[in-house]
């Protein structure tokens, strides 16, 4: 910002404070919030809203999706702003429908236009229903585009503990997990590793001398992170497989 522009803005803010006219009222006094495509590092608005009538005109190039945040165990709601042309996520904000993000929150049956109004100055809706996120929730955008984020299966490419990995396809990962075999023969290791197919045995004792250990299927142990909806899937899978060993990060 140039010095002249900064001084102009400071004058406007100072005048608003001196006269008791808030920036929100200044915005309302302007009438319609015009949609103007921004350049540089700015973002396009998801919608234009008439501050007097509440008329909402969504931007056809922007898609808004209400979802849930996995930044921590609170599992608050979030609202994801996506550029339809590139598929890129532009912003993550609070979900006005979720009581963890807004109080009072919007009714679940409220139309999506109300979600747009919740982030506007129309009838003070932005102060009543605007959803917010904590710093960790806002940081999920950076986590999504983290260059070190793991997005494909990784297979050990060196000795244990060396920290060397190589990407493989999902098809390869499923095949090796199910069929097993000498999976590291290319590294000079001849150990045969059992896959799901060999472990799936609900009749043969895991150890005949210790029958209390149960069947061979109990060799399968799932140790997950935080399930957040995935626990139902892993629970059904381990139940069908015949093992009780299904553990999460904070509960079992």
Q: Is the Cα dihedral 173, 175, 177, 180 positive or negative?
A: negative
Q: How many CB atoms lie under 10 A from the CB of residue 97?
A: 22
- Are 243 and 66 within 8 A, CB to CB? no
- Cα–Cα distance, 121 to 27 (Å, whole number): 8
User: 183-215: buried (b, 16+ CB within 10 Å) or exposed (e) per residue?
Assistant: bbeeeeeeeeeebeeebbeeeeebeeeeeeebb
Domain 32-144 has CATH 3.90.1150.10: no
What ranges do the domains of the chain cover? 1-30, 32-144, 150-199, 215-252
- Cα–Cα distance, 162 to 145 (Å, whole number): 26
Query: For every residue of 103-132, which 3-state class applies, written as one string?
Result: CCCCCCCCCHHHHHHCCCCHHHHHHHCCCC
pLDDT at site 39 = 52
Burial class (CB in 10 A: 0-12, 13-18, 19+), 116: buried
117-144 per-position pLDDT tens digit = 988 888 888 778 888 999 999 999 999 9
Query: For every residue of 223-251, which 3-state class applies, written as one string?
Result: ECCCCCCCHHHHHHHHHHHCCCCEECCCC
**pLDDT exceeds cutoff 80 at 23:** no
Pairing outcome for strands 77-83 and 89-94 = antiparallel
More confident residue, 250 or 243: 243
- What's the average model confidence in pLDDT over 81-96? 94
CA atoms within 13 A on the CB side of 191: 6
**pLDDT exceeds cutoff 80 at 100:** yes
pLDDT at site 123 = 86
173-211 per-position pLDDT tens digit = 999 999 999 999 999 999 999 999 999 999 999 999 999
- What's the average model confidence in pLDDT over 213-226? 89
For residue 79, the SS3 value is: strand
What's the chain's average pLDDT? 84
Q: Which of 118-122, 218-222, 224-228, 231-235 has the lowest mean pLDDT?
A: 224-228
* pLDDT above 70 coverage of the chain, percent: 81
pLDDT at site 41 = 62
**pLDDT exceeds cutoff 50 at 34:** no
Residue 40 binned pLDDT confidence (cut-offs 50, 70, 90): low
pTM: 0.63
- What's the average model confidence in pLDDT over 68-84? 90
């Amino acid at each position: 910002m140039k010095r002249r522009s900064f001084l102009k803005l400071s004058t406007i803010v100072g005048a608003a404070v001196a006269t008791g006219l808030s920036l929100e009222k200044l915005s309302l006094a302007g009438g319609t919030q015009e949609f103007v495509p921004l350049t540089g590092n700015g973002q396009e608005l998801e919608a234009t809203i008439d501050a007097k009538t509440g008329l909402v005109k969504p931007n056809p190039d922007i898609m808004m999706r209400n979802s849930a945040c996995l930044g921590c165990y609170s599992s608050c709601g979030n609202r994801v702003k996506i550029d339809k042309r590139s598929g890129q996520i532009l912003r993550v904000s609070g979900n006005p429908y979720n009581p963890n993000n807004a109080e009072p929150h919007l009714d679940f049956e409220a139309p999506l236009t109300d979600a747009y109004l919740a982030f506007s100055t129309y009838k003070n809706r932005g102060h009543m229903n605007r959803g917010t996120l904590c710093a960790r929730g806002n940081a999920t955008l950076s986590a999504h585009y983290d260059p070190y984020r793991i997005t494909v299966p990784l297979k050990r490419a060196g000795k244990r503990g060396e920290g060397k990995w190589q990407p493989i396809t999902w098809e390869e990962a499923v095949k090796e997990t199910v069929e097993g075999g000498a999976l590291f023969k290319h590294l000079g290791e001849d150990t045969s590793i059992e896959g799901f197919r060999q472990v799936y045995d609900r009749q043969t004792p895991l150890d005949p001398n210790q029958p209390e250990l149960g069947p061979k299927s109990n060799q399968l142990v799932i140790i997950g992170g935080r399930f957040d909806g995935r626990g139902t899937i892993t629970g059904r899978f381990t139940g069908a497989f015949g093992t009780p060993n299904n553990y999460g990060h904070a509960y079992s």
